[in-house]
Amino acid sequence: MRKHTSNAWTQTLSEATLAARTGVCASVVEGSGPNHLRAFVEPWVAVARDERWGEGTSTTGFDTGISASMLEELRQQLMDCARHVVDLDWNAFAAARSGPLSAWCEESAQPDQPASDAYADVLKKGGWERVLAGHPALARLACVRQQLWCTAQRELGGRLRRDRALLERSFGEGRALGPLGAVHGSLSDSHCGGRSVSELRFGSGVTLFYKPRSLAAEAFYTRLISWLSATGFPYEGRAARDRKSVV
């Protein structure tokens, strides 16, 4: 597991560069967003996917690796970071086969090859590095975003492992939650280093929402609702349940 320091983004950049050279830009996973943009951010996603998520399970909490839905969240965040720069380069490439990638256009382009595939080939042959060389702030921004995302997922995994028994008592009626399936993040504005609300779906069918902060305010509101109900106050509020609601 990489220790994130002020200079750790350069290590991430080195690993992402190696991934780009090996051709991961051509291994685009279908999803929302244009393929040329998905291809451009894939090196950072590949580095995150290859993290040792299954090692040191007391801290990672993901025994079977990071899920595809979690990686898609990272992919979308990186696409938001790179969209303006990459769209400009892509438009120039697709329209006139010119711009900062022109040195590779002729050898990568084939008559029957879709423009998005040709662009992925160009990225593999040095175009990815050339774009970042012209936009160094994007290189650092994307690396830091990827690091923050990995840190937040490790925190989520560690808390899930630590609290699993409590979660099963509170929400599973004592039954096992089962393996963690889909995880859908970015359900709120990001804060505290890119953290946000996530939806967790377990193999048992239970769905929980993870909020990466204290639920003290929600707990107080729940007690208030209970007190109002006990006094006969005509208020029908919906109380929140957290992992400590049932012990």
Stated as kind and residue range, the H or E segment containing 181 is strand 180-184
Which among 72, 8, 73, 87 is positioned nearest to 40, based on CA atoms? Answer: 87
| Residue where the block lists tokens 């025994």 | 63
Specify the DSSP class assigned to residue 64. Answer: T
Check whether 162 has a pLDDT greater than 50.
Answer: yes
pLDDT digits (tens, 9 = 90+) for 88-108: 988 888 775 644 545 545 544
pLDDT band for position 191 (cuts 50, 70, 90): confident
- Residue 117 near residue 26 (C-beta atoms within 8 A): yes
- Residue 242 near residue 215 (C-beta atoms within 8 A): yes
Across 162-183, average pLDDT: 83
- Residue 66 near residue 146 (C-beta atoms within 8 A): no
**Lowest mean pLDDT across 75-84, 98-107, 118-127, 141-150:** 98-107
In this prediction the pTM is 0.77
pLDDT digits (tens, 9 = 90+) for 59-77: 445 655 567 888 888 999 9
Q: Are strands 180-184 and 207-210 parallel, antiparallel or unpaired?
A: unpaired
Cα–Cα separations (whole angstroms), residue 121 to 33, 76, 139? 19, 22, 20
Across 164-181, average pLDDT: 83
The most distant pair of C-alpha atoms in the chain lies apart, rounded to whole Å, by: 79
Check whether 79 has a pLDDT greater than 90.
Answer: yes
pLDDT band for position 118 (cuts 50, 70, 90): confident
- Residue 15 in tokens: 């690993």
